[in-house]
Amino acid sequence: MDNKLRCFLCGEELKEGIADVRAGWGRYRLRFYGVRALICEGCDDIIFSKYDVQVVQKLSKLFLEFSFQDRPKKIDLSNVYDLFIDDENLIHNIEIKKLTLYENEGMFHLDRKEVEMYRKGNIMQA
């Protein structure tokens, strides 16, 4: 018997990958791109870890701090997602309004250097 993770739907092997996910808080809905996941090679089912779900939920809730028209409908996290993985305190302590949301043709993103500087500033204050 192998030690590979298997899909509970079809039994095929699960591989680490990157996926997008629809999420939201209350009536607010958005799509996250660049979220790590386990992806089934057989049926393309996508499984997110408990922590990855927490990251998406926390960010969804934090974006409620923005006015309705300024809330992202689509956000690409691929350039910063590893920072949330490397430092689990980041998602729990982040003050989203201290960061700039950049927008290009309806797709929002955070600047990696800005998030790194924010993270270092908070570590130094702690």
**Encoding tokens for residue 80?**
């910063």
52 closest CA partner among 70, 64, 39, 41: 39
Question: Each residue of 57-111: pLDDT tens digit?
Answer: 999 999 999 999 999 999 999 999 999 999 989 998 899 999 999 999 999 999 9
CB 15 within 8 A of CB 39: yes
Its pTM stands at: 0.87
CB 49 within 8 A of CB 14: no
